[in-house]
A and B are shown apart, each in its own frame.
Chain A
Amino acid sequence: GENVEQHPSTLSVQEGDSAVIKCTYSDSASNYFPWYKQELGKGPQLIIDIRSNVGEKKDQRIAVTLNKTAKHFSLHITETQPEDSAVYFCAARLGSNYQLIWGAGTKLIIKP
Chain B
Amino acid sequence: EADIYQTPRYLVIGTGKKITLECSQTMGHDKMYWYQQDPGMELHLIHYSYGVNSTEKGDLSSESTVSRIRTEHFPLTLESARPSHTSQYLCASSPVFVQGTFDEQFFGPGTRLTVL
Q: Which residues of A line the B interface, CB within 8 A?
A: 32, 34, 36, 38, 41-46, 49, 51, 87, 89, 93, 96, 99-100, 102-105, 107
Q: Which of B's residues lie within 8 Å of A, judged by CB?
A: 40-43, 45, 48, 58-59, 90, 92, 97, 99-105, 107-110
Residue in chain A with minimal CB distance to B103: A96
Give the docked Cα–Cα distance between A99 and B105 (Å).
Answer: 11
30 residue pairs from A and B, CB less than 8 Å apart: A32-B102, A34-B104, A38-B40, A41-B109, A41-B110, A42-B107, A42-B109, A42-B110, A43-B90, A43-B109, A44-B43, A46-B105, A49-B102, A89-B42, A93-B102, A96-B97, A96-B100, A96-B102, A96-B103, A99-B45, A99-B48, A99-B59, A100-B45, A100-B105, A102-B43, A103-B42, A104-B41, A104-B42, A105-B42, A107-B40
